[in-house]
Each structure stands twice: as C-alpha cells, then as structure tokens.
Amino acid sequence: MVEIKKIQVEETYPIRHHILRPHQSFDACKYETDHLETTFHIGAFIEKKLVSIASFSIEVHPDLPGYRHYRLRAMATLLEYLRNHIGKSIVVSAEAELKSKHIDYLWV
C-alpha cells in the first residue's frame, strides 16, 4: 500500500540526486524555490520507505491564462518502483491541495 503525504524538502534531495542529477553535485538538487512558504513537497511511501517525490511551487507560466499557477518540479521515483502509478497518486494528492487554494493551473 502506498502512503502519500507532505514531506520536508530535505527528504527530497537523496531521490532528486539519485534519479534526476546523478552526475552532478548534491547541491545541484537544491532549488531556490524549495524553502518558500508557498512551496510544498509530497512523498510516496511503501512500507515506510520514501520511494517517490515531487515539489510544487508558485510560478506563473507566461502562456497560460490567469495568474495563480503552480509548477510541478523535480518529480522522481526510485527505479524499482516505476509502473506502480505512484507518480499519478502524488499528482492527484497535489491537485486536491491546489484546488483548495483556488489555483488556476498546475504545469510542468
């Protein structure tokens, strides 16, 4: 069973580094929006092990209408857990959060 919940940004860094930026420094996994009050991070856990992460921050996309936009960034799943719809579960959870904030668009 997958448990989806908000996590601290520091919990995202090992998976970001391992999956998204393995040939770069660990610091390359840290984004300037990570610690903003409006940014949030979601993790998926299987048997208490963090297996997938995603970060969501305010960022207006110039080609979309409205002005309340969030960007999905740094989404990654450990390779051995791919094809289990874990990423979809994270996005569905984030969409619920963003709907409660009356956000116009979530973009990638």
| Per-residue model confidence as pLDDT tens digits over 6-51 | 999 999 999 999 999 999 999 999 999 999 999 999 999 999 999 9
Please name every residue paired with 58 in a beta bridge, in sequence order, or none if there are none.
Answer: 70
Q: How many helices (H) and strands (E) does the chain have?
A: 2, 5
Burial class (CB in 10 A: 0-12, 13-18, 19+), 53: buried
User: What is the reported pTM?
Assistant: 0.94
- N-term to C-term CA, the chain: 27
Please answer whether residues 77 and 51 qualify as being in contact, where contact means their C-beta atoms are separated by less than 8 angstroms.
Answer: yes
Dump pLDDT digits (tens) for 42-101.
999 999 999 999 999 999 999 999 889 999 999 999 999 998 899 999 999 999 999 999
